[in-house]
């Protein structure tokens, strides 16, 4: 495929504003299970994405273990096969680094608190 979107199952901690009970739903063991599932989805995407294709990884989590740390592990285990896609701010992306000061490279934590919405994470990688 030229484009794969992994809308990964996650802890949904980015929705705490409207679902405050999320804090009590997750144990360390359950979080580890979901992190393993997320990584398996990322790893399996490598068999499906074509050369030059893009893998987009998204969660509605605020946890680094589900976001930056997860994506960094994926990139590190596929050195020479993947590169991060630069942010699209120049192309009119409303979620630019200016709006999301915590963003790093193409990894964009989308924090919608000022819009009364949820928080999300998006990272993009291109297969070489």
The residue ranking higher by pLDDT, 73 or 90, is 73
Q: Give the C-alpha distances (Å, rounded to integers) separating 95 from 38, 77, 81.
A: 23, 27, 27
pLDDT, position 117: 67
pLDDT band per the 50, 70, 90 thresholds, residue 22 = confident
pLDDT band per the 50, 70, 90 thresholds, residue 24 = confident
What is the end-to-end Cα distance of the chain in Å, rounded?
A: 13
pLDDT band per the 50, 70, 90 thresholds, residue 89 = very low
From 1-15, 46-60, 80-94, the region with the lowest mean pLDDT: 80-94
- Mean residue pLDDT of the chain comes to 81
Give the rounded distance of the alpha carbon of 104 from its chain centre. 12
Active site residues: 60
Please tell me the distance from the alpha carbon of residue 48 to that of residue 33, in angstroms, as a whole number. Answer: 23
């Amino acid at each position: 495929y030229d484009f794969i979107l992994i809308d990964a199952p996650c802890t949904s901690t980015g929705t705490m504003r409207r679902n405050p009970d999320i804090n009590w739903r997750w144990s360390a063991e359950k979080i580890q299970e979901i992190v393993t599932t997320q990584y398996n989805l990322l790893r399996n995407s490598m068999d499906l994405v074509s050369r030059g294709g893009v893998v987009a990884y998204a969660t509605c989590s605020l946890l680094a273990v589900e976001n930056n740390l997860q994506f960094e592990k994926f990139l590190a285990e596929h050195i020479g096969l993947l590169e991060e896609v630069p942010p699209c701010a120049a192309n009119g992306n409303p979620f630019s680094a200016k709006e999301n000061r915590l963003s790093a490279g193409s990894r964009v934590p989308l924090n919608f608190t000022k819009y009364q919405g949820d928080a999300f994470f998006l990272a993009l990688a291109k297969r070489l």
